[in-house]
A and B are shown apart, each in its own frame.
Chain A
Amino acid sequence: MTMLVLIYAAVTFLPMHVFARRGYEKGEIILFFILSTLGLFVWLSILLKHPFSPDTIVAWTIDRFFDLLP
């Protein structure tokens, strides 16, 4: 768990610091932050044993709304 947070910090805050110093637009840094936090959530869901699986969500919606083919 702590290893994950450590890698997350290294992967997001270090580059963000570099971007800020290099003078990137605000939007880019924010998008970078959002994407890597999304990554963190996915990895957290794996570690906490109920993985976020987009395919099961798709399967659930397809079964409920449109039952296309057998």
Chain B
Amino acid sequence: MPPAIWKLPVVVILASFLLAGCWDMKEINQLAIVNLIGVDTHKNTDKQELYYQVINPKGIATQAGAPEKATVYTYRFIERLGDQFEDISPDVIPRQLFTQHYQAIVVSERYAKSGLRELLNFKEGHPERGTNVYLLVSDAPIDRIMDSFIPLEPLPGRSMRSIIENQSEMTGRISTHTRMKDLIENMETGQISVFPIITYIGEKSSENSNRLEHIQGTNGNIALLGGALFIHDRMVGKLTKDEMKWYNLLNRKHERFLETLVINGESVQVKTLNTRLMKKLELHGEELILHIQIFANTNLIFNDQKVPTTTTLFNQIEAEFNQRIQKESQRFIEDSRKKGWDVLGIQYLLHLKKGAQWKRLAEDKDRWKKVKVVISSHNKIETIGSLISPYKGE
């Protein structure tokens, strides 16, 4: 057993370490926990307006029954994004910025149109600022969104996040793949990406926390408007909620899909449980054809038919559902083609193909305009609600 020769100098080194103190030590109550970040261009200068919504811990952790206190504070900076950002925050915020747990980032339409590349580099650059966060575009002036309290949810950042997650769970109009890192990937490969647009209902932002006493739920609140379409890192257009639904279906973004059909005069609502979508790009002679096949098991949520529900009715519903999907998606593809948006990402599919012939086709930038799209869909109704045959009413 070698004598403990390493003990003596070790004590010297460790002692000198302990005296030197700890560099990375930051107490919990020295942290300004950021929950929501907003970015907007500052009038016509090249600076940006940055909004940091910081949580007030005492405001949230109050026991039940205590009067509602301000749960968040918004700090506004006017500064160029990239340079010396670290040192301007301490001018105003007395604590160290802790941006690792922020829930969402809201970008104004103006800023989105001018390109987000700088913001993405800024966010990915430092490990403390992540890009695994939902990106939202706001068409209302951004200070109205950042400066208002939201009923029911103490933290506005969390409310935006739950809007997106619930919406994608229930209706499938928004997919959860709308994070900043998805924009990064699509930006480089030239694909299209769609991010939710939110707006503020009401004229004035409700700055005061006693707004939470009012019974009014909808006005003075954030609401989902539609989708913002991005090519590379610029916002180029808007999609309505309805178009968003088709976009998500055709790009395998989500498994949920909701559709109301009218069969022999009465409405029927069908919701898909899991949709599987196959995209195959084929070359027939000189002609490029994109085959899209959709398979779905559906759930009949609302059935207002006067006719007794029999399998024939089901077949009828399924046929109508398939037919509606083919017609509507063709219409959606035509509209977007007119506006010059490669919604199906055909250019990207071309790029993925192997072989010299495909390479030649991929060179021509708007080859995707001349591609014929064939859509076929098959679905099967699996579950119905608790009404086996709806009431007739007479």
Q: When chains A and B are docked, how far (Å) is the Cα of A14 from the Cα of B9?
A: 8
In whole angstroms, what is the CA distance A19 to B3 when docked?
A: 10
Q: Are B12 and A7 in contact (CB under 8 A)?
A: yes
Interface string of A35-58 (1 = CB under 8 A from B): 000000000000000000000000
A28 to B5: give the CA distance in the assembly, Å. 13
B5: contacting residue among A7, A10, A11, A18, CB under 8 A? A18
Q: Is the CB of B9 within 8 A of A10?
A: yes
User: A19 vs B16: C-alpha distance in the bound complex, in angstroms?
Assistant: 23
Q: Which of A10, A14, A19 has the most CB of B within 10 A?
A: A10
Is A64's CB within 8 Å of the partner chain B? no
Binary B-proximity of A11-31 (CB < 8 A = 1, otherwise 0): 100110011001000000000
Q: How many residues of B contact A (CB 8 A)?
A: 7
**Looking at chain A's contact residues, is the secondary structure mostly helix, strand, loop, or mixed?**
helix
Q: B25 near A: Cβ within 8 Å?
A: no
Instruction: Report how many residues on chain A are interfacial, defined by Cβ distance under 8 Å.
Output: 8
Q: Type the 1/0 row for B9-25, where 1 means its CB is closer than 8 Å to any CB of A.
A: 10011001000000000
Q: Are A14 and B12 in contact (CB under 8 A)?
A: yes
Nearest-CB residue, chain A, relative to B16: A7
> Distance in Å from the Cβ of A22 to the closest Cβ of chain B?
6
Measured CA separation A7–B5 after assembly (Å) = 17
Q: Is the CB of B12 within 8 A of A10?
A: yes
> Bound complex: CA of A7 vs CA of B15, how far in Å?
11
- B1 interface residue per 8 A CB criterion: no
User: What's the minimum C-beta distance from A2 to chain B, rounded to whole angstroms?
Assistant: 13
Residues of B within 8 A of A10 (CB): 9, 12
- Measured CB to CB, the nearest residue on chain B to A24 is B5
Across-interface contacts of B16 in A (CB, < 8 A): 7
A15 touches B3 (CB 8 A): no
19 CB contacts below 8 A, A to B, read A7-B12, A7-B13, A7-B16, A10-B9, A10-B12, A11-B9, A11-B12, A11-B13, A14-B8, A14-B9, A14-B12, A15-B5, A15-B8, A15-B9, A18-B5, A18-B8, A19-B5, A22-B3, A22-B5
Known: A11-B13, A18-B8, A19-B5. 9 other contacts (CB 8 A): A7-B12, A7-B13, A10-B9, A10-B12, A11-B12, A14-B8, A14-B9, A15-B5, A22-B5
